[in-house]
Structure 1
Amino acid sequence: MARLNSKAVVAAVVLAAVVLMMAGREASAALSCGQVDSKLAPCVAYVTGRASSISKECCSGVQGLNGMARSSSDRKIACRCLKSLATSIKSINMGKVSGVPGKCGVSVPFPISMSTNCDTVN
């Protein structure tokens, strides 16, 4: 079960790293991996192949997280969470991950990739 929780966090952070790069507003509180996990955990079944379609809850989380991303610091934190957890998961389908924001109505003008350089995230 702990392995599933790690998968949820990694899937959430993969999505968040890109979705969060989009928001340009400043915030007073930093985003945490726990918040990313909470918002995007409903997406895990889809991005790991256990569900054939994206749930409403997944899209709600993607949209909510996009709204929470207030600073480049938040987006860098999300990206770094991904980097620290990426090696612990093998079943994420990056093709599905990269398509989630678009399927949820969130515009991302660059490809989603596990190789994103977190230092360049704005």
Structure 2
Amino acid sequence: MAALKLVCALVLCMLVVEPIATTAITCGDVTSKVAGCLSYLQNGGNVPKACCDGIRSLNMMARTTPDRQTVCGCLQTAAKAVKIKGNLAETLPAKCSVNIPYKISTSTNCKK
């Protein structure tokens, strides 16, 4: 009986210590999260709630440096493809009350 308890305790410890598997963020993920921002980034006006919700969600997904670098690069690629107003992109995190550790700009060095 004591051996069974020990085995159960060891299995429980392995489950607790086992790292949670995560998947890498893709540009598709980024695009879907910021889709609600497109009209604002092209035309200005009020920032839609869906935009800020997407920015918050994206920020929560990008916890590691490689994830943040991927998001940064995807945002740059998307910004160039759809011709947004750069000044609106730069102010978006503040307007959504989200702290992003880099400036959203086509000139940002995403490798840092």
**SS of structure 1 residue aligned to 2:111:** helix
Cα distance, 1:57–1:115 mapped onto 2, change above 3 Å? same
Deviation at 1:83, TM superposition (A): 4.4
Indicate whether 1:101 and 2:75 are aligned. Answer: no
The higher-RCO structure (CA 8 Å, 6+ apart) is 1
Which residue does the alignment assign to 2:7?
A: none
Assess if the C-alpha contact under 8 Å between 1:62 and 1:104 holds in 2: yes
Task: With the length of structure 1 as denominator, give the TM-score of the two structures.
Answer: 0.65
Deviation at 1:110, TM superposition (A): 5.2
Deviation at 1:76, TM superposition (A): 1.3
Structural RMSD (CA) = 2.2
Give 5+ residue unaligned stretches, structure 1. Answer: 1-25
**SS of structure 2 residue aligned to 1:48:** helix
Give 5+ residue unaligned stretches, structure 2. Answer: 1-19
Which residue does the alignment assign to 1:39?
A: 33
Task: With the length of structure 2 as denominator, give the TM-score of the two structures.
Answer: 0.70
Indicate whether 1:29 and 2:29 are aligned. Answer: no
**Cα-to-partner distance string for 1:49-78 (whole Å, 9 max, x where unaligned):** 0x5111110011011111111211111112
**SS of structure 1 residue aligned to 2:67:** helix
Which residue does the alignment assign to 1:88?
A: 81
Identity of matched residues, %: 41
What is the total number of aligned residue pairs between the two structures?
Answer: 93
Indicate whether 1:63 and 2:56 are aligned. Answer: yes
